Amino acid sequence: MRAARVTFAAVAAWMCGCGLTPTKEAHPEDVEKPAPSAADGSCDGVPVVAAASLFGGPYQLVDEGARPAEGSRVAFEGAPQGIAMCSQKGCAFECCDNACGAATDCPYALTVGKYNRVCLSNAAFTCGGTDCSGYCTPFSTRAQSSYRFVGTVRYPKGTLGGAVLEVTGYCKL
């Protein structure tokens, strides 16, 4: 039994050394696209809400009176994170190129702590590619810049403490 474990470990180490492990490749679409600057005033005139103020704890929104009313026009600021989901086909030592995509109502999110997030919904926001070469557009999978997102907020029932901003515009900060 001990010899079998040593042999398997040796084979796995050899395969890793030969480049037979999954490798991620940059996708040409996974780049931040140019955005209007907040300095031009196109994102002004809407109250900016701190995303953290929506949550009272893990997966828990604050009481209705303490948060913007559903349907209110508000703005949130932060660096969006792409929420790509890939099919889960098994792979051992090679890249499987499983297809990836995103939920239409939450392709990007502003994360608030470990458990909460504000989903950013817009028909132009999407994720795709494969698990070896994924992308999200227009901000990439992990945006390096912060933005102000303007839109109407809603609090869908049945989600774990989440909020959704129906984005009608955004500006780079």
pLDDT tens, residue by residue, 95-122: 667 788 888 788 999 998 888 999 999 9
State residue 155's pLDDT score.
92
User: Do the domain assignments include residue 2?
Assistant: no
State residue 128's pLDDT score.
87
- Print the domain residue range for 29: 23-172
User: Do the domain assignments include residue 12?
Assistant: no
User: Do the domain assignments include residue 13?
Assistant: no
What's the CATH code of the domain at 124? 2.40.50
State residue 130's pLDDT score.
83
Task: Look at 1-5, 124-128, 138-142 and tell me which has the smallest mean pLDDT.
Answer: 1-5
User: Do the domain assignments include residue 62?
Assistant: yes
State residue 41's pLDDT score.
78
Number of domain units in the chain: 1
* Measured distance CA(142)–CA(29) in Å, rounded: 13
CA dist 173 → 8, 37, 146, 163 (Å):
52, 6, 6, 22
Among residues 68, 56, 34, 11, the alpha carbon closest in space to that of 140 is found at: 34
Asked whether residue 2 carries a pLDDT value surpassing 60, the answer given is: no
User: Do the domain assignments include residue 108?
Assistant: yes
Beta-sheet strands, E only, within 1-160: 55-57, 60-61, 73-78, 81-82, 85-86, 100-101, 108-112, 116-121, 126-129, 134-137, 147-154
State residue 88's pLDDT score.
66
User: Do the domain assignments include residue 122?
Assistant: yes
Instruction: Select the more confidently predicted residue: 96 or 42.
Output: 42
User: Do the domain assignments include residue 6?
Assistant: no
Contact yes or no for 107/81 (Cβ under 8 A) = no
* Measured distance CA(163)–CA(173) in Å, rounded: 22
The model carries a pTM of 0.77
User: Do the domain assignments include residue 18?
Assistant: no
Q: 23 φ, ψ to 5°?
A: -125, 140
Sign of CA dihedral 131, 170, 103, 110: positive
Q: Helix or strand or coil: residue 21?
A: coil
Task: Look at 42-56, 118-132, 150-164 and tell me which has the smallest mean pLDDT.
Answer: 150-164
* Measured distance CA(168)–CA(120) in Å, rounded: 10
Element (H, E) at 58: none
Asked whether residue 60 carries a pLDDT value surpassing 50, the answer given is: yes
